[in-house]
Structure 1
């Protein structure tokens, strides 16, 4: 679990990144979760775009994804949301102290 201060720090980092994956009309599939988990292991902070044709609510979708990858929800803006998960092998982001 991350604190508000750490979440604010991650929001600042996420401001400069582009979405690397998207959720379409098939919704949150096992293949998507596997792909996102690999991306989180490599980058730790990933932005996801929820396509309009998916018909999914962005925040509900983000909560489901975060639960399935054991990550942390950072923010949702419009049709995009950001997820953080500390990498076991490739730690890149140093979070501020609690």
Structure 2
């Protein structure tokens, strides 16, 4: 995994993510293999994505966030309510 993001980098990524719409939804079935694959594909294509995690249990959303980040080797940029902003550098560019 890449080095931890600096505060400056996080602020820049938050600004870039502001206008984005969620491209992945984690629904009632939680973190499934298809959600992981979709997230991985979206990160490969865009580097910076928003993910919407449905459900009202905050602790469960945090657990899903941590598991998803680990599964796709991404870093959490921001977590506001049910929205996550994830970033993974695309080394192919």
Q: TM-score range by the shorter chain?
A: 0.7 to 0.9
Alpha-carbon separation, structure 2, partners of 1:66 and 1:81:
10
After TM superposition, which residue ranges in structure 1, 4 or more long, deviate above 3 angstroms?
none
Unaligned runs of 5+ in 1: 91-98
TM-score in terms of structure 2 length: 0.86
User: For residue 7 of structure 1, what is the aligned residue in structure 2?
Assistant: 10
Unaligned runs of 5+ in 2: none
TM-score in terms of structure 1 length: 0.82
User: For residue 45 of structure 1, what is the aligned residue in structure 2?
Assistant: 48
From 58, 73, 80, the counterpart of 1:77: 80
Taking only aligned residues, the RMSD between alpha carbons, in angstroms, comes to 1.5
- Contact 2:31–2:68 under 8 Å retained in 1: yes
Matched positions, count: 89
User: For residue 37 of structure 2, what is the aligned residue in structure 1?
Assistant: 34
